[in-house]
Structure 1
Amino acid sequence: MNQIAVVLDGLKQKISHGSTFIQRSYNSIGQATFHLPKPVKPETLQAFQTEFKQPLPSEYQTFLELHDGAKLFMLGDEGLVLYPLEEVIEKTIEAKEDGLIDEDYDHYWIIGEVNEGYLLIHTEHAKTENTPYMYWKYHEGSTEDTDAIGQNFGTFLERSIIAQGDMYWEFNIFDVREDDYYVEEETEQVQAGVSIASEERVRIEIEYPIYRRGGFIVSFYTYENGKPDLWWRSDYDTMKQVHRSLVSTLKELRFHFTEITVFQKEAPLWESEDASGEQIAKRVEHPQTQIMQYDGYQAFVNDLPRPLPGWEKA
């Protein structure tokens, strides 16, 4: 598991244990909400590189391949917001047109926001992994005036999680001899939050081999706007491997309370060998189909999809 995945897995464990009541600077407290959407689509990654003629920094791309953006430690409308990549493209183009990205300082992508300011990636610094490229600026003004955060995306994400979405890079700026740090006596009551948004439904299709020594094809779909959206597709040699892969995927927090539908289909064509060893195709008159419904992850684990009749040893 890569470092970005480890950091996010730790956050999900924290949330699953109910650790969502947070306290930030200036006594900003309440029950935080979180949202981690599905991975970025490959065509969006390609669209980004086509638009800006530069690949994403590896740590940031790794994050997007796990979750296309995020809303973390949200108290109302405030918290750490990382835009979906399509929004990064749109906001960066708009910022250049509106002068938010200054023409003399035209080397930034806008990737999110926190505490009344934008999170930026310095495109020139991002060309090497050894140069810190994360920056921040207030919503007002232009990129002529930005603050260096001093890290790359992976460290920024980890420290932001440790700081509960606060601007940790400013913690050491305060000086009691010069600054007046105060805490409001009254704090706004924030309604109880919810855990990470989960997928409501998933659809799994298991296509059986064209002959018993072949491989199983598994297609895993989530739903977008009520329509199945292919997330991944893989080949497996045995049903045991199929079960292991699906259990591993479905144990993620986002799937724990989802409706799971499994469609198992026999290939409509068989192949066998004649005396000469030549392959002979034979159409199956009535291919077997089996549909199973599950109410959540645990129900799936307790009653794994059974092989179609005649495939028990497959």
Structure 2
Amino acid sequence: MHAITVRPTDKTDSKGRHRPGPECIEWTEVPTPQPGPGEVLVKVRAAGINRGDLLQRQGLYPPPKGVSDTMGLEVTGTVVALGSDVTWPKGDEVVALLAGGGYAEYVVVPAGQLLPIPEGIDPVTASTLIEVAATVISNMDHVGLAKGETFLVHGGAGGIGQFAIQYAKALGCTVITTCGTVEKQEFCRNLGADIALDYHGDWVAAVKDATEGRGADVILDVMGAKYLGLNVDALATGGRLDIIGMQGGAKGELNIGKLLNKRASITATSLRPRPLDEKAAICQRVREVAWPMYTNGDIKPAPVESFPMTEAGKAHEKLESGAVLGKIALTL
């Protein structure tokens, strides 16, 4: 079969570390994987691109031990072969949550991480849904986001942000988001955000103003270190900061005194390395909670721009440019 590989590069970053760019992505011949016990082989139709893929290409987010080095955390496709102890019907069109391997003609998937395509959603759009939905729902379950609370999500115009805005609104929360342009702020308000703020400004003060000085009950953060202190400032008493990304760095400074005074908590999670049983349970939550919301219109999928799988480098360039309002998919 064919799959995406990343060739070595002499290109280095400011610290002298080798960081392959989009030009290093190649479409090459590799062995076709075979499903083992509890697994299925899926013929890929489309693969969603996530920021984790960009980090993996650069050598900053390696796959878990034993997982394919090929990028790709979510796909849609057709079940074509079964391992032992699997009864999933061959020929079914499915959505799959992956730890890697999606940028390929075929991918092996644990059976518990397969779902049917949501009713009314086309396969290319569906290829961009499960990673976002699984991330947001599992994290909001973890921190106990509840009706009537104030929820702040950073990067509201991105895939995570778009889902999180609509999901929190459907739960009955007041939703605040940050994003970078007037266009993106308006886009987020149209999705249901009550307040959309420019992250270039003093968004902490704006959150306090909007909540009469109280702050946000729950913050979903993709930035990490850069926003650590600011997020604590923006939390309400008893608030919960949930960190799911490190776009703003991995090491930050924390004022423990502020955290103590607010009786607040900080948690951090990652979906990719979780045990298979946990991922299977999260996928079932997505099927029970998110799929009906997509079907009945409570949540609208992010707009999707597609590229042929052979042009994955161009797709990575587009996502890295910051000009994407939604998601990108690779198609076969």
Q: Compute the TM-score of the two structures, normalised by the length of structure 2.
A: 0.23
Q: Which protein has greater RCO, CA pairs closer than 8 Å, 6+ apart?
A: 2
> Which structure's residues are more often helix, by fraction?
2
Q: Compute the TM-score of the two structures, normalised by the length of structure 1.
A: 0.24
Between Structure 1 and Structure 2, whose CA radius of gyration is higher?
Answer: 1
